[in-house]
Amino acid sequence: GQQLNQSPQSMFIQEGEDVSMNCTSSSIFNTWLWYKQDPGEGPVLLIALYKAGELTSNGRLTAQFGITRKDSFLNISASIPSDVGIYFCAGQPIGNTGKLIFGQGTTLQVKP
Q: Which parts of this chain interact with other proteins (CB under 8 A)?
A: 31, 33, 35, 40-45, 48, 50, 88, 92, 97-100, 102-105
Task: Work out how close the CB of 15 gets to other proteins at its nearest, in angstroms, rounded to a whole number.
Answer: 27
Task: Work out how close the CB of 31 gets to other proteins at its nearest, in angstroms, rounded to a whole number.
Answer: 5
**Residue 43 or 85 with smaller CB distance to other proteins:** 43
**Residue 51 or 111 with smaller CB distance to other proteins:** 51
DSSP code string of the chain = ---EEEE-SEEEEETT--EEEEEEESS-EEEEEEEEE-TTS--EEEEEE-STT-EEEETTEEEEE-TTSSEEEEEE-S--GGG-EEEEEEEEETTS-S--EE---EEEEEE-
**Residue 13 or 100 with smaller CB distance to other proteins:** 100
Task: Work out how close the CB of 16 gets to other proteins at its nearest, in angstroms, rounded to a whole number.
Answer: 29
